[in-house]
Structure 1
């Protein structure tokens, strides 16, 4: 299984620019013949408190990304804002090789004004069971319980680590590793740029590979 983690530059509120960047990085990744392409949290709209206008593009975004999956025969994981009744979820999807939505995760670890998720689901692929969590979910106690119950083989983590905090440091990476040890599954993390970065951990929480900035990280598992 080959995974391309893409720390994509995201412009808040500029869907057209983000889609151009998404397609550009997507096509760059295809040269490595990946099975999975993984993009950051709400990567096609960005998010600025409390502007939920990007959620109006949910259907259009799903259709466009699904079209890329069907055309190229790859799996795609990415984050987006999902409207639901009178509120919005911070969600992430796994799109299958045929363009079908195989898995949706709704983020647990969110402040008020968001709807919040309450479960972790898995999807089966030819490589094993896949789960998705989002950014701060890594540190949510309820998430660890759900992950252990579902026992996925792989976890994908779209992230948007705020550039206000600078580049993730060794302490941040060790905190990620500690959570992965609790999950007991190979884990792939990719962040928005800036500050960017991507990390891959084995099921024991050992760091296997990383990239910095907007450097794509391609790994074979």
Structure 2
């Protein structure tokens, strides 16, 4: 299984600029011959508190990404804002090689004004069972319960995290590893740029490999 983790520069509220960047990074990632591409949290719209206008683009994003996945016969994971009745979920989708959405995760760890998820689902692939969680979900106690129940082979974590003190430091990465150890599942994490970065941890929470900034992290498992 080849995975490409793709940190991406995101402009909040500028869908067309983000789409052009998404396609450019998608093409770059193809050089790694990936089976799976993973993009960050709400990577095509960004999010400024509390502007949920990007949720209106949900169907457009699904259609465009579906076409790319199908044309290139690759799995794609990305985060986006999902409208639901009178509120919005922070969600992430898994597209299969045929461009079908086979898994959706709705983020647990969100403040008021968002709808929040209440379950972790898995999707079967030729590589095993996949699960997705989003950014702060990594530190959510209820997520741990669901992961233990569902027992995915791999977890993918689209992230948008920019600490007040600038770039992520060793303590941040160490904290990720400690949470992954509790999940007991090989975990792939990719962050928006800036500060960017991508990380792969084994089931024991050991950091296997990482990248900094905008660098695409290509991994063979």
- Is the shorter-chain TM-score for this pair beyond 0.5, marking a shared fold? yes
Query: Who is 1:106 aligned against?
Result: 106
Count of residues paired in the alignment = 221
Deviates more, 1:105-114 or 1:156-165: 156-165
Query: Who is 1:83 aligned against?
Result: 83
- Aligned mates of 2:178, 2:163 — CA distance in 1: 23
Q: Do residues 2 (structure 1) and 2 (structure 2) align?
A: yes
Aligned Cα root-mean-square deviation (Å): 0.6
Structure 1 residue runs without a partner (length 5+): none
CA contact under 8 A between 2:186 and 2:201: conserved in structure 1? yes
- Aligned mates of 2:164, 2:74 — CA distance in 1: 34
CA contact under 8 A between 2:159 and 2:192: conserved in structure 1? yes
CA contact under 8 A between 2:131 and 2:152: conserved in structure 1? yes
Normalising by structure 1, we get a TM-score of: 0.99
Query: Who is 1:17 aligned against?
Result: 17
Query: Who is 2:147 aligned against?
Result: 147
1:91-130 deviation line (CA, Å, top 9, x unaligned)? 0000000000010000000000000000000000000000
Cα shift at 1:163? 5.2
- Aligned mates of 1:104, 1:164 — CA distance in 2: 30
Moved over 3 A (4+): none
Query: Who is 2:191 aligned against?
Result: 191
1:5-57 deviation line (CA, Å, top 9, x unaligned)? 00000000000000000000000111111000000000000000000000000
Q: 1:41-52, aligned counterparts within 5 Å?
A: 41-52=41-52
- Aligned mates of 1:201, 1:212 — CA distance in 2: 15
Query: Is the partner of 2:196 in helix, strand or coil?
Result: coil
Query: Is the partner of 2:187 in helix, strand or coil?
Result: strand
Normalising by structure 2, we get a TM-score of: 0.99
Deviates more, 1:143-152 or 1:157-166: 157-166
1:153-211 deviation line (CA, Å, top 9, x unaligned)? 00000000025341111111111001101111100000000000000000110000000
